[in-house]
């Protein structure tokens, strides 16, 4: 992808400023401290919906690096601002604070060579601490921006949190651009979002004795099974990231092996890069449940099988053009740091909720090397971390403008 001459010129101009040069070299020297801070923050348990303690610790860090208006918003997102001195664009830089690990998880770091094993260290405490080092670099070099730079740790990104912290915050606040930093590595640019939904469908019938009620009642388990068979034959549009998976099937219990199950449940996860395909798929799944109940009811002609559904996750599919200023600028700063950017279609990151709110948004990595995300063997390795933090700093400056 080629970058517009205007963005290229803006980046070259910013890079030529002595203060920016100073900030970039500071980032190289600040990696060890950043890693220490990362271990310190990752040691605070923060499963989704339990982020408050980590959020307060992050607020302390944001205050320590001199941000103004540091506070928790009403959703427990932790944020503060570095006010601009002109009329430039306001830029939000955020990383999520929550992890997928229960409160009682052992969060003791284990070092092996340059790797540090610690749940949550990579995803996404690395993003949180990239934010801190970038602010320190701006301070150290005395850089003032034209637009406001906001920095935030978000809640409820993972699992059933479903990007909720970002979604709620963005529904009440307006920025000109949003940069999410999520997880180790650098070079991938997420600039649109895969839609994804997860729901359960419950089937209800009277139940009864396996023999005594035979022919006299319908069977919720059969209705659930009919529904699964119908879902399994749904065709999806190719090349659109559209998938579905019935991931759970629960019916009956061990004590009831001689019983018609009164209640049965399936869980389904389904996704698409395109919102209209996701909605179409949703309709087909609901129709499958409706038809399955009707067929099971008609088969016995005795009672009526009913169904209801509960939704766990509903993230919309969103997209932006790859030609917008923010995506171009992201590509430009990556190339500038010697990284060949990879623009990916889809993704399920907080960037989705920025775009959903109408804010140009990207999600990039925090640098270093990481692996084992969402497992107890999660690790982070600080090697070449500064390349990503330098690019992030440049990106924020290109978007917000430097006050000269």
CB of 380 vs Zn ion, minimal distance in Å: 13
CB of 188 vs Zn ion, minimal distance in Å: 13
CB of 385 vs Zn ion, minimal distance in Å: 17
Whose Cβ is closer to Zn ion: residue 146's or residue 182's? 182
Q: Give the residue from 311, 312, 310, 300 showing the smallest Cα distance to 223.
A: 300
Site for Zn ion in 220-279 (CB under 5 A): none
Whose Cβ is closer to Zn ion: residue 123's or residue 336's? 123
Dist. CA 261–CA 62, nearest whole Å = 55
State residue 314 phi and psi, 5-degree precision. -145, 95
CB of 100 vs Zn ion, minimal distance in Å: 9
Dist. CA 187–CA 330, nearest whole Å = 10
Please give the full DSSP string across 80-97, using - where no structure is assigned: EEE--SSS---EEEEEE-
Question: Among 123, 146, 156, 296, which residue interacts with Zn ion (rule: CB under 5 A)?
Answer: 123
In contact, 223 and 371? CB cutoff 8 Å: no
Whose Cβ is closer to Zn ion: residue 86's or residue 159's? 159
> What is the token pair recorded at 109?
């770091």
Contact region with Zn ion (CB under 5 A), list: 123-131, 133-141, 278-286, 389-397? 123-131
Dist. CA 227–CA 295, nearest whole Å = 10
- Helix, strand, coil fractions of the chain, as percent rounded to 5: 40, 25, 40
CB of 280 vs Zn ion, minimal distance in Å: 29
**β 177-181/361-364 pair status:** parallel
Dist. CA 89–CA 9, nearest whole Å = 18
CB of 126 vs Zn ion, minimal distance in Å: 9
Please tell me whether residue 336 binds Zn ion under the rule CB under 5 A: no
Contact region with Zn ion (CB under 5 A), list: 50-58, 179-187, 234-242, 361-369? 179-187
Contact region with Zn ion (CB under 5 A), list: 118-126, 147-155, 239-247, 261-269? 118-126
Whose Cβ is closer to Zn ion: residue 20's or residue 44's? 44
Whose Cβ is closer to Zn ion: residue 147's or residue 165's? 165
Whose Cβ is closer to Zn ion: residue 124's or residue 148's? 124
Q: Which residues contact 317 (CB under 8 A, 6 or more apart)?
A: 193, 194, 195, 272, 273, 274, 275, 277, 278
Question: Among 182, 336, 378, 381, which residue interacts with Zn ion (rule: CB under 5 A)?
Answer: 182
Whose Cβ is closer to Zn ion: residue 131's or residue 305's? 131
CB of 228 vs Zn ion, minimal distance in Å: 31
CA 45, chain centre distance (Å): 18
CB of 95 vs Zn ion, minimal distance in Å: 8
> What is the token pair recorded at 300?
């016995």
Contact region with Zn ion (CB under 5 A), list: 6-14, 181-189, 233-241, 328-336? 181-189
State the DSSP code for 67. Answer: -
Token pair 């640098």: residue = 367
Whose Cβ is closer to Zn ion: residue 1's or residue 160's? 160
In contact, 265 and 193? CB cutoff 8 Å: no
Contact region with Zn ion (CB under 5 A), list: 178-186, 222-230, 270-278, 292-300? 178-186
Dist. CA 345–CA 325, nearest whole Å = 18
Contact region with Zn ion (CB under 5 A), list: 37-45, 115-123, 162-170, 227-235? 115-123
Contact region with Zn ion (CB under 5 A), list: 133-141, 174-182, 191-199, 315-323? 174-182
Whose Cβ is closer to Zn ion: residue 272's or residue 366's? 366
Q: Which residues contact 201 (CB under 8 A, 6 or more apart)?
A: 224, 227, 265, 266, 267, 268, 285, 289, 307, 308, 309
Number of residues that bind Zn ion (CB under 5 A): 3
Dist. CA 268–CA 242, nearest whole Å = 13
Longest dimension (CA), the chain: 87
Dist. CA 99–CA 154, nearest whole Å = 11
CB of 146 vs Zn ion, minimal distance in Å: 30
Sign of CA dihedral 277, 175, 167, 247: positive
In contact, 401 and 18? CB cutoff 8 Å: no
CB of 358 vs Zn ion, minimal distance in Å: 23
Please tell me whether residue 124 binds Zn ion under the rule CB under 5 A: yes
Whose Cβ is closer to Zn ion: residue 128's or residue 149's? 128
Interaction site with Zn ion (CB under 5 A)? 123-124, 182
């Amino acid at each position: 992808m080629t970058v517009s001459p205007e963005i290229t010129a803006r980046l070259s101009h910013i890079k030529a400023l002595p203060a920016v040069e100073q900030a970039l070299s500071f980032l190289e020297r600040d990696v060890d401290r950043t890693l220490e801070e990362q271990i310190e923050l990752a040691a605070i348990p923060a499963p989704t919906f339990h982020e408050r303690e980590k959020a307060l610790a992050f607020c302390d860090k944001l205050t320590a690096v001199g941000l103004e208006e540091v506070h928790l918003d009403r959703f427990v997102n932790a944020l503060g601002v570095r006010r601009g001195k002109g009329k430039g664009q306001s830029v939000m830089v955020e990383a999520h604070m929550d992890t997928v690990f229960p409160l009682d998880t052992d969060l003791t770091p284990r070092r092996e060579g340059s790797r540090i094993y610690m749940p949550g260290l990579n995803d996404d405490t690395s993003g949180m601490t990239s934010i801190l080092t970038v602010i320190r670099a701006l301070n150290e070099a005395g850089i003032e921006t034209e637009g406001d730079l906001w920095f935030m740790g978000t809640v409820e990104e993972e699992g059933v949190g479903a990007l909720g912290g970002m979604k709620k915050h963005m529904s009440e606040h307006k920025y000109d651009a949003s940069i999410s930093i999520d997880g180790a590595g650098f070079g991938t640019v997420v600039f649109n979002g895969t839609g994804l939904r997860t729901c359960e469908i419950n089937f209800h019938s009277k139940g009864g004795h396996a023999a005594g009620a035979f022919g006299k009642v319908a069977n919720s388990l059969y209705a659930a099974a009919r529904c699964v068979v119908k879902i399994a034959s749904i065709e999806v549009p190719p090349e659109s990231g559209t998938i579905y998976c019935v991931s759970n099937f629960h019916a009956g219990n061990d004590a009831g092996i001689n019983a018609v199950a009164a209640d049965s449940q399936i869980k389904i996860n389904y996704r698409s890069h395109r919102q209209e395909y996701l909605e179409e798929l949703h309709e087909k799944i609901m129709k499958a449940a409706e038809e399955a109940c009707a067929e099971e009811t008609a088969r016995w002609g005795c009672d009526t099988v009913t169904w209801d559904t509960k939704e766990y996750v509903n993230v919309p599919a969103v997209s932006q053009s790859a030609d917008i200023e923010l995506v171009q600028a992201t590509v430009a700063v990556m190339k500038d740091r010697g990284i060949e950017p990879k623009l990916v279609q889809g993704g399920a990151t907080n960037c989705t909720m920025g775009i959903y709110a109408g804010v140009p948004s990207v999600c990039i990595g925090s640098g270093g090397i990481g692996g084992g995300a969402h497992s107890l063997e999660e690790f982070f390795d600080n090697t070449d971390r500064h390349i990503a933090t330098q690019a992030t700093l440049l990106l924020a400056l290109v978007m917000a403008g430097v006050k000269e």
